[in-house]
Amino acid sequence: MRTPRYGSLLVASVSAVLALGTGPLSAQGPAVITGKVTAEGGEVLGGANVVVANSNFGAVTAANGTYSITIAGSAARGQQVVLTARYIGHRPTSRTVTLSPGTQEQNFELRSDPLRLEEVVVTGVGEATRCASGARRASGGGRIR
């Protein structure tokens, strides 16, 4: 009885594919930056912005302060980028990160800044300023011109 020779060919092909899978082709996966944004006392900051400078990459933190940014393809290999976290009433914090395929964690702790506690809301008629206490000040349209 004759044994087909296809079995040994199949084993050799599968072995070659597995060997290539650990080489340079698999190193081209996306870079994923994850982390958490908190205030000085450890309070999580949901709604904070985390962005990669000079790019379209960024994320808004979830209610638990976590974020995830995925940078795909060749842009994810060895490139240094500046990652900045911002939240109203806090000083922005930036750091340089070297991108590499896989997941890396970058946590931010933002410091409160009393000079940044005001939020300006522009309306159709005038301008209203809301302070951290919730009080509002309004100005007429003539002041804006």
Domain with residue 83: its CATH number is 2.60.40.1120
Q: Residue 113 above 90 pLDDT?
A: no
pTM value is 0.62
pLDDT beyond 50 at 8? no
Q: How high does pLDDT run on average in the chain? A: 76
* Whether pLDDT at 94 is above 70: yes
Cβ neighbours around 61 below 10 Å, total: 23
67 and 135 co-located in one domain? no
Kindly state the tokens that stand for 101. 């395929």
**Pairing between β-strand 31-39 and β-strand 102-105 as defined by DSSP bridges:** parallel
Q: How does 75-107 read in b/e, with b if 16+ C-beta sit within 10 Å?
A: ebeeeebebebbbebbebbeeebebebeeeebe
Residue 127: domain span: 115-145
Lowest model confidence (mean pLDDT) among 1-5, 38-42, 49-53, 124-128: 1-5
Q: Look at residue 121 and tell me if it is in a domain.
A: yes
